[in-house]
Amino acid sequence: MFTLRSLAATLALAGLVSVAHAWETLPTEAPAPADNPNTPEKVELGKMLYHDPRLSSTGTVSCASCHNTMLGGEDNRPNSMGVNGQTGGRSAPTVWNSAFNHVQFWDGRAASLEEQAAGPVTNPIEMGMKSWDDVVARLKAIEGYQTAFAAAFGLDGINKGNATKAIAAYERTLITPNSAYDKYVGGDLNALTEQQVRGMEKMAELGCTGCHSGPAFNGPGLFQKFPTHSNQYFEAQHRFSKDLGVAEVTKKAEDRHMFKVPTLRNVALTAPYMHNGSVNTLDEAVKIMAKLQLDKDLSKAEVADIVAFLGSLTGPFPKQEMPRLPGTPGTTAN
């Protein structure tokens, strides 16, 4: 039988670095746009802003509250909690490797990390600031931010555009290459277990990689319909069709139930699953996706093999030193 393991051996002997065209390693650096190159000063400022709850109306919610880099890049809640205990209807996507997304948010309403960073701050359910003018005024009142923005962008650098550029620059450092999968695809045939290799082969055989392909396992395109196949049992349990996906933004009938294809990188760490966070375990998520997207019923052994392979996509997290946020001695930031 000609398996991925035998293929890997053949390619390794030939001096090649990839198991097959469909299996790609994650780059060790994320690309930055021409108008926002990464600099140490910008990344450090972005890290501060990302972790600062003072960017919210109540002073209690930061970007990191819902996208926790001490976890899997999200909050392990079905629906994230914003200011005043409010919750939305969707599960927070992971920030890890988000630099490799084609678009941001489940409905793809942001084309870039910079655009994405601007949204939650003024969302009334998430961080609740009335306007970015209010955010800028608050930042200008904090002396430490005056210094940090000047170092990253020059004098008078405190504005919405530079704040979102800094957050995006920091987020582009949040990547997790060199997983067991990456090592295997790179030629280390001992990096995966036999079960993980079976799961890898099963994903290709079933067609999972038709959507979850590429280095980040987030597909060649932008969106995919979910669910593709109707199933009354799963719909009654999880109400997947309640959310109209991209159509919530575009109001177009053809966009109903279209969603951004999420990355499978570090997916073992990001339960609960699906856009509404209604699936508690990875085993169940694999079973549901096979049925609703591919109309396939998997055995327990097949599910276990795929889950084992998905675990190999967990990469080592870069060491981070948490920022010291600039204080406001003797007063508060209003």
The residue type at 252: K
Task: Check if the beta carbon of residue 167 is closer than 8 Å to that of residue 38.
Answer: no
CA distances in angstroms from 65 to 85, 114, 323, listed in the order given:
12, 19, 15
Tokens 């021409």 belong to 34
Contact 127, 43 (CB under 8 A): no
Name the CA radius of gyration of the chain, rounded: 21
CA distance 97 to 263: 8
Catalytic residue among 74, 114, 126, 284: 126
Phi, psi dihedral angles at 23 (to 5 degrees):
-105, 110
Number of helices (H), then strands (E), belonging to the chain: the values are: 13, 2
Q: In 3D, which of 134, 163, 131, 132 has the Cα closest to residue 146? A: 163
Given a contact cutoff of 8 angstroms between Cβ atoms, the answer to whether 74 and 91 are in contact is: yes
Quote the tokens at residue 231: 């199933």
**Residue 232, C-beta contacts closer than 8 angstroms, at least 6 positions apart:** none
Q: Is 277 left (phi over 0), alpha (psi -120 to 50) or beta?
A: left
CA distance 185 to 311: 15
- Catalytic residue at 126? yes
Do residues 68 and 55 lie in contact, with contact meaning Cβ atoms separated by under 8 Å? no
Q: What are the CA-CA distances from residue 246 to residues 51, 101, 188 (Å)? A: 29, 16, 40
Terminal CA-to-CA distance of the chain, rounded, Å?
67
The residues that are catalytic are 126
